[in-house]
A and B are shown apart, each in its own frame.
Chain A
Amino acid sequence: MEKIAVEVKNLVVSYKEIPVLWDINLKIPKGCLFAIVGPNGAGKTTLLKAMLDLIKADAGFVNIDKTLKVSYVPQNSSVSWDFPATCFDVVLMGSYRSLGWIKRPGRKEKNNAAACLEKMGMLEFKDRQINELSGGQKQRVFLARALMEEGDIFFLDEPFRGVDVVTEKEIIRLLKSFKEEGKTAVLVHHDLSTLCEYFDYMALINKSLIAQGPCSEVLLSEKLTQAYNGKISPFGVGYANIASNVR
């Protein structure tokens, strides 16, 4: 059997005494690309945050393999965009976890930050203020920041929101190269049509877990309509469309 990177057991999370996640049981294998999928308001982001212990759960537990270093790319909504920070500054913030309180980044961290920017093809923008970039470029910078953390498992919250197709493909290529190195990535994702192309495993949730497993299996089952309450229209990302993609 494969090694497990993250195990979620009996997880219940509530908001104002109303459960938003109910009895979630999940296993995320090591070295895969894992998608958390579900309709709007299904609790995808909440699940991600609960896994990282950023939200307190009412019941159950989350076990992340202790040998793995975690890095997290939040949705960009909490960023103060007008802050006087260049791309380089932002990436450098990725080293703050290992530095801890008070200690300042030194030459080693700075070299590392430049290397991470280079890896994301953003070195030439290093002195730009963060808000002067396009959506895709911003996402690349935040990914470079995650690289700085030198994590073994990445949690990304909707990294493709407001991002151009080229960057999207680039990010996936990078994540796949991580996979080769044995690293794991967990993404909140909402585009059903690209699921099988991008990911190995997925969890389909709508408050509770509907299905989990290899993408192709989950997508072909009846579970998808169940998660979306049969609301997947034949237009846009249609069910038939996805099914044909899988084949």
Chain B
Amino acid sequence: MEFEIVLVSCITAAALAIPGVFLALKNMCMVSDSITHTVILGIVLGFFVTKDLSSPLLIIGATLTGLLTVYLTESLYKTKLVSEESAIGVVFPLLFSIAVLLITLFASNVHLDTDSVLLGELAFIPFDRLVILGVDLGPKALYFGLGLLLINLAVTLIFYKEIKLSIFDYTQCALYGFRPWAIHYLIMSMVSLSAVISFNVAGSILVVAFLSIPAITSYLICKDFKQMIITSVLVAVLNSSLGCVFAFALDVSIAGSIAVVSLLMFLRVFLFSKKAGLLMKFLDKRKRREEYLKSLVLYYINKEGNFQKACGIVRDKRVMKKLVKEGIIKNSP
């Protein structure tokens, strides 16, 4: 059973990491937060139409609501009356509130409470199984996750060139006749669909972690688009498996544990990676600064012909002292 949970969370995380990269590169990470909240409205509305919580129509309805959110946010922003950030922050709480109201007013007797939608729980996954003709084929969530992964992979492979161009240079993309807005909405549909399918695995807020954290982690170390996609899928799988292990050991929320592990992984890369880590950057900067100040001091010693005078001119006394201590300056003319 534990193996099933790890498998499902890894597959879901890998599927989400792909559109996450596009969002991160478009500087739209917070849109994921917006979409994950508003797809709930789509699910509620879909439920009113179909009266069935397991209907596939719900998935379509919810995905469309995600797109509607993006559309409304962009329309509001395009009026130039509010900033992009404010537009996001005005639209999604509204749609989410409407969803909550509809649930409490009309659907309180069904199993559709905001708690489970928002928080989700991986631990329940093995109980909802796909049984065909009496044969147990494993948890349903596994197939949803696999399907999502396949769709996201397929879209990415088919439209790889177009997506890359539209993110890198929107105008150029339009000039080549690719309709960048269509690609934009394609990406948003991927995000939306991913949010819908995975929120009962992770809960809508932690879907944000699945979408954005692997992407920004790999963004720190990758220079190439393809490399970034692959890295963030790998990071996502690693985060999920480690997160599950910790959650089992401590018996706490699995999705939450994955999010925490994701943060730690990000901080590890952010601070200690050899390529882009803050520590390396700091050491490197200090070294370069010393080199630079040394050349500066030497320049002024040459110019003024006097060590004392040069010391008076260069401001960084700490480095000066260090240089004198190491005998670098005294030896020079």
A–B interface present (Cβ within 8 A)? yes
Distance in Å: Cβ of B73 to nearest Cβ of chain A: 18
A14–B291 Cα distance when bound, in Å, is 13
Q: A17 near B315 (CB under 8 angstroms)?
A: no
Q: A14 near B292 (CB under 8 angstroms)?
A: yes
A130–B314 Cα distance when bound, in Å, is 43
B26 at the binding interface (Cβ < 8 Å) = no
User: Given A17-B285, A17-B288: A58 and B314 within 8 A (CB)?
Assistant: yes
Q: How would residues 288 to 307 of chain B score, 1 for a CB under 8 Å from any chain A CB and 0 otherwise?
A: 11011100100110010000
B316 at the binding interface (Cβ < 8 Å) = yes
Which chain A residues numbered 8 to 44 have a C-beta less than 8 Å away from chain B? Answer: 9-10, 12, 14, 16-19, 23
A23–B302 Cα distance when bound, in Å, is 13
Partner of B296, one of A9, A12, A16, A82: A12
Q: A10 near B300 (CB under 8 angstroms)?
A: yes
Contacts of B316 in A (CB 8 A): 58
The number of inter-chain residue pairs (CB within 8 angstroms) is 32
User: Given A10-B300, A17-B285, A23-B299: A57 and B315 within 8 A (CB)?
Assistant: yes
Closest partner residue, chain A, to B288 (CB atom) = A17
Contacts of B137 in A (CB 8 A): none
Q: B289 near A17 (CB under 8 angstroms)?
A: yes
Which chain B residues numbered 271 to 289 have a C-beta less than 8 Å away from chain A? Answer: 285, 288-289
A56–B289 Cα distance when bound, in Å, is 14
Contacts of A58 in B (CB 8 A): 292-293, 296, 314-316
A82–B300 Cα distance when bound, in Å, is 48
A55 at the binding interface (Cβ < 8 Å) = no
B150 at the binding interface (Cβ < 8 Å) = no
A182 at the binding interface (Cβ < 8 Å) = no
Contacts of B292 in A (CB 8 A): 14, 17-19, 58
- Give the interface size class of chain A: 10 to 19
Contacts of A121 in B (CB 8 A): none
Contacts of A19 in B (CB 8 A): 292, 296
Q: A59 near B314 (CB under 8 angstroms)?
A: yes
Q: How would residues 74 to 94 of chain A score, 1 for a CB under 8 Å from any chain B CB and 0 otherwise?
A: 000000001000000000000
Contacts of A135 in B (CB 8 A): none
Q: How would residues 99 to 114 of chain B score, 1 for a CB under 8 Å from any chain A CB and 0 otherwise?
A: 0000000000000000
Q: A59 near B289 (CB under 8 angstroms)?
A: no
Contacts of B288 in A (CB 8 A): 17
B154 at the binding interface (Cβ < 8 Å) = no
User: Given A10-B313, A17-B292: A59 and B285 within 8 A (CB)?
Assistant: no
A60 at the binding interface (Cβ < 8 Å) = yes
Closest partner residue, chain A, to B287 (CB atom) = A17
A12–B303 Cα distance when bound, in Å, is 14
Closest partner residue, chain A, to B295 (CB atom) = A19
A82–B296 Cα distance when bound, in Å, is 44
Contacts of B300 in A (CB 8 A): 10, 59
Closest partner residue, chain A, to B286 (CB atom) = A17
Distance in Å: Cβ of A18 to nearest Cβ of chain B: 8
A17–B303 Cα distance when bound, in Å, is 21
Closest partner residue, chain B, to A12 (CB atom) = B296
Closest partner residue, chain A, to B284 (CB atom) = A17
A187–B288 Cα distance when bound, in Å, is 33
A18–B316 Cα distance when bound, in Å, is 16
Q: How would residues 47 to 58 of chain A score, 1 for a CB under 8 Å from any chain B CB and 0 otherwise?
A: 000000000111
Contacts of A82 in B (CB 8 A): 83
Distance in Å: Cβ of B287 to nearest Cβ of chain A: 9
Partner of A60, one of B83, B285, B293, B313: B313
A232–B292 Cα distance when bound, in Å, is 32
Contacts of B313 in A (CB 8 A): 9-10, 59-60
Distance in Å: Cβ of B115 to nearest Cβ of chain A: 40
Contacts of B296 in A (CB 8 A): 12, 19, 58-59
Contacts of B289 in A (CB 8 A): 17
Distance in Å: Cβ of A24 to nearest Cβ of chain B: 12
A18–B285 Cα distance when bound, in Å, is 11
Contacts of A16 in B (CB 8 A): 285
Contacts of B303 in A (CB 8 A): 23
A56–B314 Cα distance when bound, in Å, is 12
Most buried by B among A10, A14, A82: A10
Q: How would residues 303 to 328 of chain B score, 1 for a CB under 8 Å from any chain A CB and 0 otherwise?
A: 10000000001111000000000000
Given contacts A19-B292, A19-B296, A56-B315, 18 further A-B contacts (CB under 8 A): A9-B313, A10-B300, A10-B313, A12-B296, A16-B285, A17-B285, A17-B288, A17-B291, A17-B292, A18-B292, A23-B303, A57-B315, A58-B292, A58-B296, A58-B314, A58-B315, A59-B296, A59-B315
Q: Would you list 7 pairs from A and B whose C-beta atoms are within 8 A, ordered by A residue?
A: A14-B292, A19-B296, A58-B292, A59-B300, A59-B314, A60-B313, A60-B315
Give the top 7 A-B pairs by smallest Cβ distance, nearest first.
A17-B288, A59-B314, A17-B292, A10-B313, A59-B313, A17-B289, A60-B313
